[in-house]
């Protein structure tokens, strides 16, 4: 794995409230994305209340080792690709690693995929609890043989595959062949959703897509007879034009499009499921507490978000011929009204 990480700057903030000398030391490492900063601040506040002494290390404009950058922004209509990185770690990276090691944390909390990869390399003997990592099954640090399984656990931004399948069956029960659009770096995530669909009797057809050849993915949807589509957060697949093209495909064919963003539901997708950042931070803080106090250590590995919100666009539902009268219940929290 390459260790190239491109940073604009590195900011270190030590938060040391009046705690006991034996207060657990926790390092929070994050990239500069606004959602990551929001999650990190919620984590810092919660962990401090739990009696931890926190050091916060912010990485800006981060790209993870091996090119695994933060490729799934909350709003893909604004997604752009990240410029190539240099072949060696920058001075800012080395400084961040130095601060991280010198803080001698008992646990590292990493916010984002880049921060997680960096933490695992920088402190190889310390447990790492991650959050805000999209398409986590496609990340190299959770791959079979990565060697970090014994000390890695956390919460992904991905919705549980089982929950996604259940919501599709619940809100659009007539859908029988859902096109599952994915990129090269979200294929394993897509395969997990397809496997969950098989258990529930729902066919999901994998549709590979590329950012600059998205029209080919739309052609595959028609060619494979898909009567609905499910989006995965992946900036290697979606930009504003591609999102609009997919939504138009759904409206023209009277086929529901499922998404991962409330903004996209509001913009015309049929429905979607998405996470609550603050609730995810609370769930992550709970995992940190378990790591610090469970003896012997508890089970490591992936957790899906416990707090999930749903949205449905009633106008789009009407346009694609789906009746929601019997489906509007607590499983969908936000209903975008007919215009």
Residue 289 shares a structural domain with residue 266: no
Mean pLDDT, residues 283-303 taken together: 86
Looking at every residue in the chain, the average pLDDT score rounds to 84
Instruction: Give the model confidence (pLDDT) of 174-201 as tens digits.
Output: 999 999 999 999 999 999 999 999 999 9
**pLDDT attached to residue 291:** 93
Residue 121 shares a structural domain with residue 253: no
Give yes or no for residue 19 having a pLDDT over 60.
Answer: no
Contacts for 143 with CB less than 8 Å, ≥ 6 apart:
none
Give yes or no for residue 6 having a pLDDT over 50.
Answer: no
Instruction: Give the model confidence (pLDDT) of 77-128 as tens digits.
Output: 333 223 334 456 778 788 888 999 999 999 999 999 999 999 999 999 999 9
Give yes or no for residue 238 having a pLDDT over 50.
Answer: yes
Residue 24 shares a structural domain with residue 111: yes
Give yes or no for residue 289 having a pLDDT over 90.
Answer: yes
Q: Closest by alpha carbon to 65, among 115, 125, 124?
A: 115
Q: Which carries the bigger pLDDT value, residue 15 or residue 252?
A: 252
Q: How confident is the model at residue 2 (pLDDT cuts 50, 70, 90)?
A: very low
Q: Give the tokens for residue 202.
A: 């729902």
Residue 257 shares a structural domain with residue 131: no
Residue 303 near residue 283, CB atoms below 8 Å: yes
Residue 179 shares a structural domain with residue 78: no
Supply the DSSP string of 295-333, one letter for each residue: SS----EEE--S-EEEEEEHHHHHHTT---TTT-STT--
Number of domains in the chain: 2
**pLDDT attached to residue 317:** 93
Paired with 230 in beta bridges are: 180, 258
Residue 138 shares a structural domain with residue 197: no
Residue 136 near residue 160, CB atoms below 8 Å: no
Q: How confident is the model at residue 1 (pLDDT cuts 50, 70, 90)?
A: very low
Residue 312 shares a structural domain with residue 296: no
Give yes or no for residue 67 having a pLDDT over 70.
Answer: no
Contacts for 26 with CB less than 8 Å, ≥ 6 apart:
47, 52, 53, 54, 55, 105, 106, 107, 108, 109, 288
Residue 2: inside a domain, yes or no?
Answer: no
Residue 195 shares a structural domain with residue 148: no
Residue 154 shares a structural domain with residue 183: no
Mean pLDDT, residues 291-298 taken together: 77
Residue 1: inside a domain, yes or no?
Answer: no
> By residue range, what is the domain housing residue 187?
161-274+308-336
Q: Which carries the bigger pLDDT value, residue 6 or residue 113?
A: 113
Residue 321: inside a domain, yes or no?
Answer: yes
Residue 297 shares a structural domain with residue 313: no
Residue 42 near residue 277, CB atoms below 8 Å: yes
CATH number at residue 34: 3.40.50.2300
Residue 268 shares a structural domain with residue 312: yes
Q: Give the tokens for residue 158.
A: 């991905």
Tokens 């499983």 map to which residue? 331
Under the phi-then-psi rule, with left for phi > 0, alpha for psi from -120 to 50, and beta for the rest, what region is 303? beta
Contacts for 239 with CB less than 8 Å, ≥ 6 apart:
76, 77, 79, 80, 211
Residue 222 shares a structural domain with residue 165: yes
For residues 80 and 77, give the distance between their C-alpha atoms in angstroms, rounded to a whole number: 9
Residue 150: inside a domain, yes or no?
Answer: yes
């Amino acid at each position: 794995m390459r260790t190239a990480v491109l940073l604009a700057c590195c900011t270190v903030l030590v938060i040391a409230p009046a705690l006991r000398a034996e207060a657990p030391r926790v390092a929070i490492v994050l990239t500069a994305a606004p959602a990551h900063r929001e999650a990190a601040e919620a984590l810092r506040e919660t962990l401090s209340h739990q009696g931890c002494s926190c050091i916060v290390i912010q990485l800006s404009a981060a790209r993870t080792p091996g090119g695994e950058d933060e490729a799934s922004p909350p709003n893909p209509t604004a997604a752009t690709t990240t410029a190539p990185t240099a072949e060696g770690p920058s001075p800012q990276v080395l400084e961040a690693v130095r601060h991280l090691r010198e803080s001698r944390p008992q646990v590292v909390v990493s916010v984002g995929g880049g921060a997680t990869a960096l933490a695992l390399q920088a402190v190889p003997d310390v447990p790492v609890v991650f959050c805000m990592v999209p398409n986590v099954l496609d990340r190299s640090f959770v791959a079979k043989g990565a060697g970090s399984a014994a000390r890695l656990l956390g919460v992904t931004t991905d919705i549980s595959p089982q929950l996604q399948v259940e919501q599709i069956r619940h809100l659009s029960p007539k859908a029988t062949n859902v096109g599952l659009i994915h990129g090269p770096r979200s294929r394993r995530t897509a395969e997990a959703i397809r496997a969950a669909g098989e258990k529930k009797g729902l066919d999901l057809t994998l549709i590979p897509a590329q950012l600059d050849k998205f029209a080919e993915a739309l052609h595959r949807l028609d060619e494979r007879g898909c009567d609905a589509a499910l989006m995965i957060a992946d900036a290697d697949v979606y930009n504003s034009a591609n999102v609009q093209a997919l939504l138009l495909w759904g409206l023209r064919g009277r086929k529901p499009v499922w998404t991962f963003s409330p903004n996209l539901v509001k913009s015309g997708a049929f429905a979607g499921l998405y996470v609550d950042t603050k609730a995810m931070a609370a769930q992550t803080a709970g995992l940190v507490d378990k790591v610090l106090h469970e003896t012997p250590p508890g089970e490591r590995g992936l957790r899906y978000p416990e707090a999930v919100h749903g949205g449905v666009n009633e106008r789009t539902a009407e346009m694609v011929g789906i009746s929601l009268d019997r489906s509007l219940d607590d499983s969908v929290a936000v209903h975008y009204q007919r215009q």
